[in-house]
């Protein structure tokens, strides 16, 4: 069960501290993720130049590596930033976007895991399964597998990488290889807004920067995403209004609203 007091405390801490989250993310997600982080109370930076990786990482409270739009130079920057953050003991989140769609993408995700040792890995069911089974193929960023089918793979990946693994879907599953927590909030309309998953990874970085218990932080991030998405969908007539309403709901979110809407 989610500890509601800890969840409330983390949301309050985000608003009080405004943690700086360094996102090496894709072009599609940059605007949406940055606005979502600002709305919840964090401070985003979207930098990917190899030449500034160490300096940016040095001032960040968390690093989020998202492999959505890859090239060799971006990979170099990701590894450089990851190594720098690992040396200073900071938190690292990996989003293996599209793992399973191409060998370059899958191997890059695995290389980041082996080299940077992320604290949290967040992806959809197909992406998580592809990291433990080379026979699984994804359809770009869309999952072809159900989250509950990926739970076994998520546990195996968590144990292998010594990280917390989040599998996003209608029900989110979060595991450290032994424990499993679920978040049931959300809306099908969230899948119609591009970069919603990428934003969940950035949000995970936010909460992991204020809570050293990375398992709990990963759960709290998905709870906030799910509640905001559910409330936004109630006011939306389609994906366009959903985009704006989601940002507004993050901004308006209070501990009382969060706990009242949370379903377990």
Out of 21-30, 137-146, 153-162, pick the least confident: 137-146
Domain ranges (residues) in the chain? 4-261
Q: Given a cut of 90, is residue 81 above it in pLDDT? A: yes
Q: What is the mean pLDDT of residues 185-201?
A: 97
Q: Which of 94, 91, 88, 61 is nearest to 75 (CA)?
A: 94
Q: What is the mean pLDDT of residues 10-20?
A: 98
Q: What is the pLDDT of residues 225-243, one digit of tens each?
A: 999 999 999 999 999 999 9
Q: Given a cut of 70, is residue 107 above it in pLDDT? A: yes
Q: Which of 148, 153, 193 is nearest to 168 (CA)?
A: 148
pLDDT at 145: 59
Structural tokens at position 122: 């967040």
CATH class of 4-261: alpha beta
pLDDT at 264: 74
Q: What is the mean pLDDT of residues 7-29?
A: 97
pTM: 0.94
Q: What is the mean pLDDT of residues 202-207?
A: 98
Q: Which of 158, 171, 179, 173 is nearest to 219 (CA)?
A: 173
Helices (H), the chain: 4-17, 30-40, 53-59, 72-87, 103-116, 125-132, 151-161, 196-208, 214-235, 239-252, 255-261
Q: Given a cut of 80, is residue 76 above it in pLDDT? A: yes
Mean pLDDT of all residues in the chain? 94
pLDDT at 179: 97
Q: Given a cut of 50, is residue 143 above it in pLDDT? A: no
């Amino acid at each position: 069960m989610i500890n509601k007091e800890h969840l409330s405390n983390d949301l309050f801490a985000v608003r009080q501290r405004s943690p700086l989250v360094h996102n090496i993310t894709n072009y599609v997600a940059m605007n949406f993720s940055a606005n979502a982080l600002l709305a919840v109370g964090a401070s985003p930076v979207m930098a990917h130049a190899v030449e500034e990786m160490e300096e940016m990482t040095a001032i960040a409270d968390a690093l989020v590596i998202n492999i959505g739009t890859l090239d060799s130079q971006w990979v170099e920057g990701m590894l450089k930033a990851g190594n720098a953050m690992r040396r200073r003991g900071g938190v690292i989140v990996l989003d293996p976007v599209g793992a399973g769609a191409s060998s370059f993408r899958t191997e890059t995700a695995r290389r980041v895991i082996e080299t940077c040792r992320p604290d949290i890995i967040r992806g959809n069911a197909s992406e998580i399964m592809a990291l433990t089974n080379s026979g699984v193929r994804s359809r770009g960023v869309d999952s072809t597998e159900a989250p509950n089918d990926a739970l076994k793979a998520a546990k195996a990946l968590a144990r292998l990488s010594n990280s917390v693994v989040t599998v996003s879907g209608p029900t989110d599953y979060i595991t450290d290889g032994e424990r499993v927590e679920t978040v049931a909030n959300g809306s099908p309309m969230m899948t119609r807004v591009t970069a919603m998953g990428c934003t969940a990874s950035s949000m995970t970085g936010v909460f992991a920067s204020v809570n050293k218990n990375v398992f709990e932080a990963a759960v709290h991030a998905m709870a906030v995403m799910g509640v905001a998405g559910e409330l936004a969908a109630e006011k939306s007539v389609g994906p366009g209004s959903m985009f704006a309403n989601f940002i507004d709901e993050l901004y308006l979110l209070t501990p009382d609203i969060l706990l009242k809407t949370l379903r377990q």
